[in-house]
Each structure stands twice: as structure tokens, then as C-alpha cells.
Structure 1
Amino acid sequence: MLHERRYDIDWLRVIAIGLLLIYHIAIVFQPWAMLIGFIRGPEIMESLWTPMTALNVWRIPLLFYVSGMGVYFALRKRNWKQLLGERTKRILLPFVFGFLAITPLHMYIFQGYYGMPLSYFPHAGHLWFLGNIFVYVIILSPLFFYLKNREEGSFKKALSAYMGNPLGPLSVSVFFILEVLLVKPQLFELYAETWHGFFMGLLAFLFGFLFVYSGKAIWQTLLKWRWLYLGLALGLYAVRFFVFNLQMPGYVLAIESNCWIFGLFGFAYKYLNKPSALLSYLSTAAYPVYILHMFALYAGSYLILPLEIPVFLKFVGIVAFTGVVCYLLYEFVIRRIGFLRPLFGLKGRGRKEKALKEKGNALEEVVGPTR
């Protein structure tokens, strides 16, 4: 597993960010949207929120799991100085840039929509996730490197054996339950800039690392028992929806959240662990799109919500507007302008890459596009 490329994990990152866009757009059509800093439409579509309630207990924890897995893969060819330097460039720099230059744009649009005086208001906004990830890397790096240097040790062998049964992955939910009981979040689904979000993310980040560190046994478990995990998730959601009117205790939501995630890992491992040109493009674009999407969403809301069209068309219009604007900005601005690339989490273009690009452009002039 040391040199295996995990395309399924790349796909899950892309899918999670795509769902994040839809989730945030759905908030625009909820009666409480303005309370959390979103532009609210004049018409409400509360029915949109029903499917979102099935997403909101696992979408952010999934990204933390995947981020922890990413650190394991990064450690394979890096020492601690290289890891911290790389994560500073790829996470801290985009976070600081977004804090100062991207999220204030949301506030300008918000203020303009509601006729408020325009003012510069830098804030973390949706980029709180990046700040958390960077802190987790700082906190957990000593443990990660300790484990890396003992890949043949007894802990890894015991962990691999333990994760070889279906209760192994499920048992990590005990830690998430304890987090809820100790932190006592007002809402389980309220992750942004809360202690609950911080500690829940820390646990998911840690176990994401440990899952890939433990070896192939856990993936065989997740693959074999994927229907069990998905069935448990659906059952708990059904109870939450029909019995508790979505007001399930947080410690139960912690179990439901992990069941969704483990089921997704199993299905992704079976069906998505294969390379594709589409994945190669989307996995690179996902990070800049995540950073940009709230600006595009707010701009789309500003332009489309006042239109005299059915509310469902407004929702579809904002989805399309957000997707198109993010694509255009990524494809024709961010990925093509060298100094912008690091600000959006992309690697800069080195001399070798530039030379290959020039060679490719020359070839395209002769034989047409090569891809």
C-alpha cells in the first residue's frame, strides 16, 4: 500500500466539495439563512432542506477524514520540515489570502444586497476549515512521524488486526460520542468556528490518518461490510426524521455520521478506485473552487434572487451560475496565472512544467489538441 494511489479518496474529496456547493446554495432558500450570514431569498423552499439533513451530519467530518488520509500519503516522501513547509504553502497561505481578500467580497455583496454601508470585513468565513487543518498538522505531526518511523511495529500490526472486523471501524465512534458529551454542542451540525467543530475535526483527521496507516485490512472490512454501514446510517436517519423530527441527541448523530462515512468509503473503494482524466482535472480544481465558491454563490444570489421567476428556477439558476463562474475563474484565471496559483492552493509552475507546456502548445499547433 506504500506506493498505491488512492483514486477513491480523491473522488470522495471532489464529491464532498461538490455537495458542499449544493448545501450552501440550499441555505439561501431557508428562513434562517440571514442568521448565519447568507443572503436570503424572498421565497422559501424548506423542502430543499430535507435531503440536506441527511448530508449535514457527515459532509464536513468526511472532509476531515480525507484530509488526515492526505497527510499519511504526504509523509511517505517528506520529513517534518518538508511537511510543515508544504502545508504552510498549500494550506496556511490560501487561508490567510482568503481571510484578507476573498471572504470580504462575500460581505460586500451581502451589504450591497441589504442596502448596508459597505465596509471591509476580513474574516475566516467558510475557510475556517483550512485554519483547523493547519492546526491539526502542527498538533499531530509528532505522533504521525513517530508512527511513520515504526511502520513495522506492534501497534500497526495490532491496529491492522483490530480493523479487520466490522466492529473495528465502528468502535472509533466512542471517541466522537465522548466529544459530544464533553463539549455539549448546541447543534451537532454546527461545525464552523466552534469547539465542537474543532475537536470533532481533530478526531476525524487523526482516524483518517490511522485508517490508511493501518494497511489494507480496514479497506477490506469497509468493502465487505459497506451495506451494513449504509443500512445503519439509513436506519438512524429514518429514526431521526420520523421519530425525533430531526432532533436526535448528538451522541447518536456521532454514530450516524460515522456510519455514513464508512459506507461511503466502502462503496468508493469498490467503484471509484480507478484513474480517469476527469478525476485528474476535478481533483486539482476542487481546492480553488472551494475557496472561490462562496463569492460566486453570493454574486449569483445578488443577481438572480430579485428576478420574477419561479423559486425553483432561482435555485437552479444559482447552482448553474456558481458552477460556471467557479469554472471560468479556475480555468482561465487561477490555473493560468503563475502568482495566483499558490494563493489558491495550487503548486507553482516550475521551469520544467513551463517547458513541457510550451512544447505541448507547439505540438498542438501542428497536430491539434493532444487531450
Structure 2
Amino acid sequence: MLTNRRYDIDWLRVIAIGLLLIYHIAIGFQPWGVFIGFIQNDEALESIWIPMSMLNVWRIPLLFFVSGMGVYFAIQRRSWKGLLFERTKRILLPFIFGMLVIVPLHVWLWQYYYHQGLSYMLNPAHLWFLGNIFIYVLIFTPLFFYLKNKQESKLFSVLNKLMASPLALLVLMIPFIIEAKLVQPENFELYAMTPHGFWMGMIAFLTGFLCVYSGQNFWKNVTKLRWPTLAIAFILYLLRLQGLTSDLLNYLIPVESNLWIYTVFGFGYKYLNQPSKALTYLSSAAYPIYVIHMFFLFMASFIIFPLDIHPYTKLIAVILATFGGCFISYDFLIRRIRWIRPLFGLKPKSVEIRNETTRLSREGIKI
């Protein structure tokens, strides 16, 4: 069983959240951005949506996979009560705080920008992901702890043998294909607060847990097949981009989505599974930045979009302002003030230092 720290999974979570920020920034330069609640630039940059459309079928499913994997590692050193208590503090508390404090700020910015009356009805907005994850933890905790206590079970043996075969990657896709066929989402990439997002997220969360639970064979498999999965995923993306697979989208997009994710896992396991100071910092920063990024994105859009400058200059300025605002607020405010830390899902500073010291000691790094 895998119990050691998996730095590649930490890196992938950081990268996925970074891509989320870029993706949300790009929405502001699309002609339909305002219709889904984003501040929209008057002059669109539709060409930048070509790479974004590649990301939009796997960026959120990847986060659900990684979240399920994270729970596997969490339960190795916790009881079921400890897990629920820890997830309540680190997921439910920021979720509620975000809905009460963070979300209204960017909603009001949007309303003010478009000369709407200022009002707010409680909603999760971009934090919907946290609500889903907390529900999945509640649902699957009995199963996860049963599997933890049956680590030499027949299920583990079957999964371990299955994951050694390339066919395992096809088998893992089947629930995603069934979900898309049954739910029939109007757009596969519309995950936020939709039945498709909920059920797809649940499948990805459980699959992520089982991939780590099954042992090393899954990781050897995706590492060995990373180039073929990349090639097939890219071909499916090109076909989707040209509209040549429109009659088969509910079948092929889940396949493409999973192939991108397997590719990312394969390259990540080969090249990213090592500690670094950058990862330590970014891994801690990623969650708070996810919580606050929409406020800084909307603030940057509010100030920059009315300027009489080239839209590509605006794009660069919004990227810099959004990332800069997020990192400055994290570095100088969120991580330094003790009572603010838990509101953004951070552990107490003393616990963070102790955990990092223990990690470095286990790795034989002098401190």
C-alpha cells in the first residue's frame, strides 16, 4: 500500500488550481462571459479559447481525482471521526466563510460594473467544488475505512492485478461514459452546481481513491502509456474542435477527459514526484488562492477593462494583477494571521511547522 508522501499529486493539485485561474481569466475575454457572471471585456479574444477548450474537459475532473487521492493518504493516520473533524475544519469552514464573505465581494463588483442594484443571495459560486467534496467525504467515509481495514482484501488483489493491464484504463472510463450518457449534460464542461458536475465529480473522487488504494500498478501503467494516451487525447481534442464528433460527444468526451488525466498522472509520476521548497510554499498557498481568486480577478477586470489599450495587453495585465493580488494577500495576510488561517483551510502554523519538520527529518534533510 502507498503511504509515502506523493509530491507529484501535490504538484498536480497546484498546477490544476493555477490552470483554473488562467481559465477564469480567459472567460472575461469571451463574448459570452457576462452571461455566466463574469466581467467581460468589450473586445473579445476568441482565439485564446482554443487552448482553453482543451483544458475544460479535464481540469475539474482532475481536481476531483486528486481530492479522492488526498483522502486515501489522510485516512492512513486518522480515525473516521478524525477525518470528518479535519475535513469539516478544512473544507466546510472555508466553504461557509467563502459564501458569507468572499463571494459577495465579487458579486457586488459585477453588479456595480454593470450598474445593477447591489444585492446578494447566498450561493457557493466558484466554491461549489468544496461543497461537493465535503458531501463525497460524508458518503464514502464508511467505504474508505472498510477498505483501509481490509488492506489485503480480495478487492485489493483484484484491483492491483487489473491496474497492471492497459485495459484497466479503459475499464476506469466506463462509469464516466455511463454518467454522461444518463445525465446527458448540455455541455460536458458545465460542472458548477449541475447534476452532471455532482455525479461526474463523485465518480472521479471515488476513482481517484481507488487508483491510489490499488497500489503501484496504476502509476506504472499510466507512466508507461503516457505518450500513447497523450496522442489519442490530442486527436480526440482536434476532432472535437472541428465538430466532427458532435453526434458522439457523450461517449467520446469522457474518454478524452480521462486520457488527458492519465497523461497528466503519467508525466507527473515520472517527473514531479520529488520535494522542493517551491512545492512546499505553493501547496500551502493553492487552497487559499482558490478561495480568493475571483475577487482579485473581478477587481482587476473592473479597473483594467475600461482602459483604452490593446486587449492582449489587458489580458497580460489581468493575469499579473490576479496572481499578484492573490499571492500578496496570501503571503502578507492569510498565512501570517493566526485566526484567519482556518478560514482559508490552513492548518495552525505550529502544526504546519511540525509536519514540515517531520517530513524533512524522514527524508534525511538537515534543518
Distance 1:255 1:83 in 2: 32
Counterpart residue type for residue 97 of structure 1: F
Counterpart residue type for residue 346 of structure 1: L
Task: Provide the residue aligned with 2:47 in structure 1.
Answer: 47
1:123 equivalent to 2:133? Answer: no
Question: How far 1:122 sits from its partner (Å)?
Answer: 2.9
Contact 1:11 1:279 in 2 (8 A): yes
Counterpart residue type for residue 309 of structure 1: I
Question: How far 1:350 sits from its partner (Å)?
Answer: 3.7
Question: How far 1:284 sits from its partner (Å)?
Answer: 0.4
Task: Provide the residue aligned with 1:200 in structure 2.
Answer: 200
Task: Provide the residue aligned with 2:289 in structure 1.
Answer: 289
Task: Provide the residue aligned with 2:330 in structure 1.
Answer: 330
Question: How far 1:349 sits from its partner (Å)?
Answer: 2.9
Counterpart residue type for residue 200 of structure 1: M
Q: Cα RMSD between the aligned structures?
A: 1.9
Distance 2:332 2:290 in 1: 16
Task: Provide the residue aligned with 1:269 in structure 2.
Answer: 269
Describe how 1:4-43 pairs up with structure 2 within 5 A: 4-43=4-43
Secondary structure of the residue that 2:349 maps to in structure 1?
A: coil
1:225 equivalent to 2:209? Answer: no
Question: How far 1:307 sits from its partner (Å)?
Answer: 0.5
Distance 2:307 2:250 in 1: 40
Task: Provide the residue aligned with 1:364 in structure 2.
Answer: none
Distance 1:77 1:126 in 2: 30
Alignment size in residue pairs:
358
- Alignment TM-score, normalising by the size of structure 2: 0.94
Question: How far 1:232 sits from its partner (Å)?
Answer: 1.2
Distance 1:25 1:64 in 2: 21
Describe how 1:102-181 pairs up with structure 2 within 5 A: 102-181=102-181
Question: How far 1:238 sits from its partner (Å)?
Answer: 1.4
Contact 1:211 1:218 in 2 (8 A): yes
Question: How far 1:170 sits from its partner (Å)?
Answer: 2.4
Question: How far 1:229 sits from its partner (Å)?
Answer: 1.1
Contact 2:226 2:262 in 1 (8 A): yes
Distance 1:346 1:111 in 2: 31
Counterpart residue type for residue 314 of structure 1: K
Cα shift readout 1:152-192 (whole Å, capped 9, x = no counterpart): 11110110000101110221111101101111111111000
Distance 1:41 1:122 in 2: 27
Question: How far 1:245 sits from its partner (Å)?
Answer: 8.0
Pair 281,353 (structure 1): closer, same or farther in 2 beyond 3 Å: closer
1:100 equivalent to 2:97? Answer: no
Task: Provide the residue aligned with 1:308 in structure 2.
Answer: 308
Distance 2:163 2:48 in 1: 37
1:244 equivalent to 2:244? Answer: yes
Cα shift readout 1:99-153 (whole Å, capped 9, x = no counterpart): 1100000111001111112223332000000000000000111111111110011
Secondary structure of the residue that 1:21 maps to in structure 2?
A: helix
Distance 1:155 1:253 in 2: 29
Question: How far 1:244 sits from its partner (Å)?
Answer: 2.5
Contact 1:335 1:341 in 2 (8 A): yes
Contact 2:61 2:200 in 1 (8 A): yes
Pair 41,51 (structure 1): closer, same or farther in 2 beyond 3 Å: same
Question: How far 1:247 sits from its partner (Å)?
Answer: 7.8
Contact 1:39 1:110 in 2 (8 A): yes
Secondary structure of the residue that 1:293 maps to in structure 2?
A: helix
Counterpart residue type for residue 175 of structure 1: P
- Alignment TM-score, normalising by the size of structure 1: 0.93
Contact 2:57 2:188 in 1 (8 A): yes
Distance 1:25 1:170 in 2: 34
Question: How far 1:243 sits from its partner (Å)?
Answer: 4.4
Distance 2:353 2:164 in 1: 43
